[in-house]
């Protein structure tokens, strides 16, 4: 199984489609984020899904349960294999999203990888990030989510809990790559060794001089992990 999900966080649908076509034989799937979802619209999912790879709609839904259920159903209808919701929306909202996705494909966003401990204090969360991610993941599992999204720093702890969740990990930065706006990061090999099921990687691949060669290098590094 190829565990690389490429984040197509590109400014136009044309650019995203070209990149996806180049990489479709090298990666396990694609992520469509808010930039394309709010610019092009959900048709971006349908377009990329025609390449035959699973599409991760990173909508980060967070609203009342009825609205989230309907939004998740719309995204599923366009071809989304996975849809993200904020776990902080609560049990009923997560369950509504699961219903909208016909029982499968909901990923709970625990804590954004751009956040650090100080950020949690500012929004009134007194727990450490790692503890909050565990709490959120338990709630996601109890609410029927298929998986969670967390930083590489929390993957090992979640794997030990054996909650039956697939773990999707952004914040992946190969050696020498800049962190950009990510705070909690790791190399592909480190994330794989910790137990991440899928590695969500954007700019290190899409901004590379040769995205195909870079994707192959990252896949090889993951494959070398015992």
- Catalytically active residues are 60
Q: Are 183 and 113 in contact (CB under 8 A)?
A: yes
Distance CA 175, CA 218 (A): 10
Residues contacting residue 59 through CB under 8 Å, at least 6 positions apart: 34, 37, 71, 75, 83, 84, 85
Residue 199 tokens, joined:
């590695």
CB 202 within 8 A of CB 177: no
Instruction: Write down the H helix ranges in the chain.
Output: 13-23, 34-39, 43-49, 65-77, 91-100, 117-122, 129-142, 152-161, 188-194, 203-206, 211-223
CA–CA dist 21, 211 (Å, integer): 11
């Amino acid at each position: 199984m190829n565990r690389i999900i490429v984040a197509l966080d590109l400014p136009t649908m044309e650019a995203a489609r070209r990149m996806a076509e180049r990489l479709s034989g090298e990666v396990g799937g694609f992520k469509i984020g808010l930039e394309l979802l709010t610019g092009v619209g959900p048709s971006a999912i349908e377009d990329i899904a025609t390449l035959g790879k699973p599409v991760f709609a990173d909508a980060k839904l967070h609203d009342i349960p009825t609205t989230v259920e309907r939004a998740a159903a719309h995204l599923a209808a366009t071809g989304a294999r996975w849809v993200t919701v904020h776990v902080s929306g609560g049990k009923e909202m997560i369950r509504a999203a699961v219903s909208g996705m016909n029982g499968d494909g909901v990923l709970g966003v625990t804590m954004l990888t751009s956040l650090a401990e100080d950020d949690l204090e500012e929004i009134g969360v007194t727990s450490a990030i790692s503890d909050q991610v565990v709490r959120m993941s338990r709630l996601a599992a109890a609410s029927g989510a298929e998986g969670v999204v967390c930083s590489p720093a929390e993957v090992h702890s979640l794997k030990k809990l054996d909650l039956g969740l697939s773990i999707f990990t952004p914040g992946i930065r190969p050696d020498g790559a800049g962190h950009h706006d990510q705070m909690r990061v790791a190399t592909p090999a480190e994330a794989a060794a910790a137990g991440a099921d899928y590695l969500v990687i954007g700019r290190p691949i899409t901004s590379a001089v040769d995205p195909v060669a870079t994707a192959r290098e990252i896949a090889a590094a993951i494959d070398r992990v015992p």
